[in-house]
């Protein structure tokens, strides 16, 4: 099977790990990513990080405003922000309206259904079941778009309410909204209401091939849109270095990603997440594409391109992000662009 983006452009992005680095170093890394030819920068939006020790969690919208002023061309987005609990949809509409006005044409709002680590800790309430979280996200996306589109919005929905609400500062062109999905129901919702899909790598090709991508296409069809016009984005977890042992060791800091989903779902304390992650530290590399050979590494990435993902956002685990950015720009990005660009 050959890659067919159906008119979509190949985009290569950098994941700014807000759980691992403070706001200033993270800003410097993102600027370096632009300087070295990455097309986009995506920042996680956590209230609390995956690990307590040496953890960070800068406020993503404020950080993006600084990034917009430090850069000139990259796309920048959240991967992902939850617009349903700690952030009311109207506040998200205001925040991203401002970002879009500051950096027109460069801002993307990536949204997700939320997790205990962020929403429970910040609000003190229990996280609802997935069905309600997705219903809230659907309503939030609709309300945000309405606030961007109309001058005065009174909204009485199932979960959210506004009275004569006006977003006074917003861009002339609409801000795209991408929807994160880890299962077929969320993927279908992404196709129905999103301008793009956000996935994460390392979960088995059959999940993307048989569930997420078909669900996304079905949702787009049901909303009367062609899925070919929607961005297919995936965060690809990569650990690439000239020293393979170093690349392998770097993954250990992200051991929490090796935990089964059910072991992470209800955790709202980074200390407990860190404790559980320590039990699977030796398995951390399983979620990552580990290599010291650029040709091998491109082959590791190939399945995601051939599945149809056109927007690859690379998340590297190591502390020396500047080294990763330079190596990737020299050895990997050109190979990807020659082959599929």
Q: 0.85 exceeded by the pTM?
A: yes
Which tens digit of pLDDT belongs to each residue from 44-66? 999 998 888 888 999 999 999 99
Query: Which percentage of the chain shows pLDDT scores above 70?
Result: 99
How sure is the predictor about 315, in pLDDT bands with cuts at 50, 70 and 90? very high
Which tens digit of pLDDT belongs to each residue from 185-218? 999 999 999 999 999 999 999 999 999 999 999 9
The string over 7-32, giving b where at least 16 C-beta atoms fall within 10 Å of a residue's C-beta and e elsewhere, is: ebebbbbbbbbbbbbebeebbebbbb
32 is catalytic: no
| pLDDT higher than threshold 70 for residue 267 | yes
**Which CATH superfamily includes the segment(s) 11-340?**
Luciferase-like domain (3.20.20.30)
Q: Give the range among 1-10, 99-108, 152-161, 306-315 with minimum mean pLDDT.
A: 1-10
Q: Pick the catalytic residue: 19, 115, 119, 192?
A: 115
| pLDDT higher than threshold 70 for residue 240 | yes
Predicted confidence at residue 1, as pLDDT, reads 37
Q: Pick the catalytic residue: 19, 46, 274, 285?
A: 46
46 is catalytic: yes
pLDDT, mean over the chain: 95
């Amino acid at each position: 099977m050959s890659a067919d983006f159906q008119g979509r452009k190949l985009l290569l992005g950098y994941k700014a790990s807000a759980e691992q680095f403070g706001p200033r170093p993270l800003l410097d890394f993102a600027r370096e990513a632009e300087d070295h030819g990455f097309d986009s920068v995506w920042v996680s939006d956590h209230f609390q990080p995956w690990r307590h020790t040496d953890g960070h969690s800068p406020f993503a919208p404020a950080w993006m405003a600084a990034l917009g002023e430090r850069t000139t061309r990259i796309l920048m987005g959240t991967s992902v922000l939850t617009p349903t609990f700690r952030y009311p949809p109207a506040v998200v509409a205001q925040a991203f309206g401002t970002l879009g006005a500051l950096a027109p044409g460069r801002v993307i709002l990536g949204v997700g259904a939320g997790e205990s680590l962020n929403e429970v800790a910040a609000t003190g309430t229990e996280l609802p079941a997935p069905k309600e979280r997705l219903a809230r996200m659907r309503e939030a996306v609709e309300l945000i778009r309405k606030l961007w589109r109309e001058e005065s919005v009174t909204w009485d929905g199932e979960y959210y309410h506004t009275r004569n609400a006006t977003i006074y500062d917003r861009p002339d062109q609409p801000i795209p909204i991408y929807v994160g999905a880890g299962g077929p129901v969320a993927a279908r919702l992404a196709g129905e209401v999103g301008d793009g899909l956000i996935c994460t790598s390392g979960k088995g090709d059959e999940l993307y091939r048989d569930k997420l991508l078909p669900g996304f296409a079905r949702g787009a069809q049901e909303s009367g849109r062609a899925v070919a016009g929607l961005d297919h984005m995936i965060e690809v977890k990569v650990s690439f270095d000239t020293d393979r042992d170093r690349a392998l060791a770097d993954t250990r800091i992200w051991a929490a990603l090796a935990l089964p989903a059910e072991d992470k779902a209800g955790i709202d304390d980074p200390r407990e997440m860190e404790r559980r992650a320590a039990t699977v530290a030796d398995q951390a590399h399983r979620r990552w594409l580990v290599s010291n050979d650029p040709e091998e590494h491109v082959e590791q990435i190939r399945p995601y391109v051939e599945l149809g993902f056109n927007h690859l956002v690379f998340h590297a685990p190591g502390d020396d992000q500047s080294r990763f950015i330079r190596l990737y720009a020299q050895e990997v990005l050109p190979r990807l662009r020659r082959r599929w660009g």
